[in-house]
Structure 1
Amino acid sequence: MGRRNKAYHKDLHQQAYERLTSMQAFGESRKEAKANGTDKDKIFSFSTYQSYWKHTKYFIKYIKEHHPECTTLKSARKYVNEWLQDGVDRGLSAWTVGVQRSAMGKLYGISPDDEDFFKAPKKERENIKRSRGDRVRDKHFSKTNNDGLIKFCQGTGLRRKELEELRGKDLVTREQVEVELSKLESRPAEELTPADTKRLEMLQDALLFPEGYFTHVRNGKGGRERLSPIIGPNAGQIIERISNTPAEEKVWQHVHQSADIHGYRAEYATVIYKVNAREIKDIPYDRVNKGTGHRYQSEVYTCRKDESGRKLDKAAMLVCSKALGHNRIDVVANNYIRDL
């Protein structure tokens, strides 16, 4: 056999691919990794990996076009800040630049608080570009032809990927939830496996909602599983579509790329919040500030920045976050609840 050509070397694309692929730790505990200091070299979510790889390819393309002399990741590193600044100059949103910065931080092992690392623009609510007014893509999306899809999204609050993966078997009734919950709760706590405990929490969360039907999201953001209530005046139509779909078949064979999925999720979230929210004046002043001695409402969330002064019911925000598949109520306040 002939000897390998010593002049051969992996190009930037292959180097970056192998670097990010080696970090895949899907399903592992981020909490444990942080505790033992190995989280910096791991990517715990497949969706995060996909996002980082997508933006890393943009970086590689930039290097090839503007600094073709760089043939290794090491030599290209000094142009990371330049590339990120180029994104700002081209009008990319603070959110997109933030993701690109995170991707570079992971690729090169740069600490987020490194003084020499590019400082991303602050994320302000008024600068969110998605789902704000008419967009160019809206010209290619017929609301009339996609009326069923829109109503389905407004009534289920699913993300695009969740919508694309939803199958006929993923319709769950309240009765099913109660039966399974009763069985799990009747078992001694020491007999429950970690999987059983997670399942129990999911079923308990479902009963926060009065609705009779749920969509079963098997693999949401971060791999989280949840039951989201089917709500609104079109609930019957949504339930009928899912129940008429064979168990293993997708409910939606095609989801239009120009559909404003995030906007529909926001409408879903706002409805759930309004249904569950108390009047702010009715929430009790139940805590005392140690510094001032003044009583305050611990169950009231006060918005900041451009929404400064607006107050929301934390309990209703938590219910809303459970339906959306989020763990933090501030995400709900900053990205979903609108027009109150």
Structure 2
Amino acid sequence: MGKSKSRKYKKTLHQQAYSHLQKMMALGESKEEAKKEGKTGDKIYSPETYKVYMKHINYFIRWIRKAHPEITSMKTARRYVNEWLQTRVDKELSAWTVQAEAAALNKYYGIARDDPKRFQCPSRKRVDIKRSRGEKVRDKHFSKQANEELIHFCQACGFRRKVLEHLRGDDLYDRARVEQKLKDAREAGDIAMIHACEDALTFFPDQDYFMIHRRDKGGKTRISPIVGPHKQDVIRRMQNTGPDELVWRYVNKNCDVHGYRADYATYLYKQYARPIEKLDYNHKFMCADGKMRSEIYICRSDESGKKLDRRAVRLVSVALGHNREDTAITSYIRNL
């Protein structure tokens, strides 16, 4: 016999969260356009962002089921968001992890930045970064000698792992091809590609070869220069790979792709940085957020007092696919 129709079916917390996040998905829509209209708050534009949010919300739900088993509604669970996030801080999770978990719940519940009850996450400090810093257990299972070409490839291009694993021979662009791609994108009205091409051509007028990073973090597409002493080796490998063939059929899981991305950023900064003594603190520079700031960036925290060329930092940020200069400084540019 089937279930009685009089018995009302109740979704689990996981099912409720899944249904709500599915309604927030806006794949194919332009986040840039939505930002201009101030309408990004209740939408998710990238499948990767969706996966990350779903993962952290599931962690929250598991905690709710243990700490507050009487809760059967995600709506009611909202009152325990701050309590849960505080438990994550108490466990001494990194500030980056706590902020990612807070971002997932803030998005899910539509908690505004100026909400006085919004959880105040611990500050992210450069000195606390552990990812890709120092010797790790996985390094024992990765031979740098045997993977020398892969390492040099990563250091020359600044990949994230997902892009590297899906890279094909046709993803190499010379300057003429970027210019043609820009024309095609304008005709097609492809806003994302227009921005990627314009950034490459505008910020790197002296570069002749680029790599296209398709569906990078946040679903973005960017075109970044190939740089460094192994540039020609990278170009040669790309040219010797078929247009639809994978450049790397296998990327060792122990390869520190993120760490080599930092090497790329540092090399790029050194290439473009001007001598600090030749810069003027009173000379203003247009930043990514449209604000005018000094062309000299003065570091804080553990590197307090160190001075950097803000223009060079901006170029690194563009190449990495970031808009915030502090991300390039705290997470990537090292050993200066």
TM bucket by the smaller chain?
0.7 to 0.9
Q: Secondary structure at the match of 2:223?
A: strand
Aligned pair in 2 of structure 1 residues 244, 78: CA closer, same or farther (>3 Å)? same
Normalising to structure 1: TM-score of the pair? 0.85
Return the offset for 1:163. Answer: 0.9
Aligned pair in 2 of structure 1 residues 207, 102: CA closer, same or farther (>3 Å)? closer
**After the TM superposition, which segments of 4 or more aligned residues of structure 1 sit over 6 Å from their partners?**
none
Give unmatched runs, 5+ long, in structure 1. Answer: 289-296
Q: Give the residue type in structure 2 aligned to 1:125.
A: R
Q: Give the residue type in structure 1 aligned to 2:158.
A: G
Match of 2:23 in 1: 22
Contact 1:159 1:261 in 2 (8 A): yes
Contact 1:205 1:322 in 2 (8 A): no
Match of 2:201 in 1: 204
Q: Give the residue type in structure 2 aligned to 1:81.
A: N
Match of 1:307 in 2: 303
Match of 2:93 in 1: 92
Structure 2 counterpart of 1:282, from 274, 278, 303 = 278
Q: Secondary structure at the match of 2:268?
A: helix
Match of 1:256 in 2: 252
Match of 2:121 in 1: 120
Q: Distance in 1 between matches of 2:246 and 2:203?
A: 23
Aligned pair in 2 of structure 1 residues 199, 91: CA closer, same or farther (>3 Å)? closer
Aligned pair in 2 of structure 1 residues 339, 115: CA closer, same or farther (>3 Å)? same
Aligned pair in 2 of structure 1 residues 247, 192: CA closer, same or farther (>3 Å)? closer
Return the offset for 1:136. Answer: 3.1
Contact 1:208 1:319 in 2 (8 A): no
Q: Distance in 1 between matches of 2:270 and 2:24?
A: 42
Q: Distance in 2 between matches of 1:254 and 1:112?
A: 42
Aligned pair in 2 of structure 1 residues 34, 4: CA closer, same or farther (>3 Å)? farther
Return the offset for 1:175. Answer: 4.3
The Cα offsets for residues 154-202 of structure 1, whole Å up to 9 and x where unpaired, read as 1111111211221111011234346x38x949xxx9x894648436514
Return the offset for 1:323. Answer: 1.8
Return the offset for 1:275. Answer: 1.0
The alignment of Structure 1 onto Structure 2 pairs a total of residues equal to 326
Q: Distance in 1 between matches of 2:316 and 2:37?
A: 33
Aligned pair in 2 of structure 1 residues 91, 302: CA closer, same or farther (>3 Å)? same
Aligned pair in 2 of structure 1 residues 323, 208: CA closer, same or farther (>3 Å)? farther
Q: Give the residue type in structure 2 aligned to 1:90.
A: K
Match of 1:271 in 2: 267
Q: Distance in 1 between matches of 2:139 and 2:248?
A: 20
Return the offset for 1:227. Answer: 2.0
Contact 1:202 1:225 in 2 (8 A): no
Q: Secondary structure at the match of 1:239?
A: helix
Q: Distance in 2 between matches of 1:47 and 1:74?
A: 24
Match of 2:10 in 1: 9
Aligned pair in 2 of structure 1 residues 203, 141: CA closer, same or farther (>3 Å)? closer
Contact 1:13 1:60 in 2 (8 A): yes
Normalising to structure 2: TM-score of the pair? 0.85
Contact 2:199 2:318 in 1 (8 A): no
Q: Give the residue type in structure 1 aligned to 2:305.
A: G
Contact 1:206 1:227 in 2 (8 A): no
Return the offset for 1:51. Answer: 1.2
Superposed counterparts of 1:1-340, under 5 Å: 4=5, 6-30=7-31, 32-34=33-35, 38-177=39-178, 180=180, 184=183, 193=189, 195=191, 197-198=194-195, 200-205=197-202, 207-210=204-207, 212-284=208-280, 287=283, 298-340=294-336
Contact 2:204 2:225 in 1 (8 A): no
Contact 1:206 1:228 in 2 (8 A): no
Q: Which moved more, 1:34-43 or 1:147-156?
A: 34-43
Contact 2:196 2:223 in 1 (8 A): no
Contact 1:218 1:226 in 2 (8 A): yes
Q: Secondary structure at the match of 1:253?
A: coil
Return the offset for 1:152. Answer: 1.4
Q: Which moved more, 1:134-143 or 1:317-326?
A: 134-143
Q: Secondary structure at the match of 1:40?
A: coil
Return the offset for 1:102. Answer: 0.9
Identity between Structure 1 and Structure 2 (%): 50
Contact 1:23 1:41 in 2 (8 A): yes
Q: Secondary structure at the match of 1:228?
A: strand
Contact 1:174 1:214 in 2 (8 A): yes
Q: Which moved more, 1:127-136 or 1:238-247?
A: 238-247
The Cα offsets for residues 208-258 of structure 1, whole Å up to 9 and x where unpaired, read as 343x32211232233332222222222233223222222122222232333
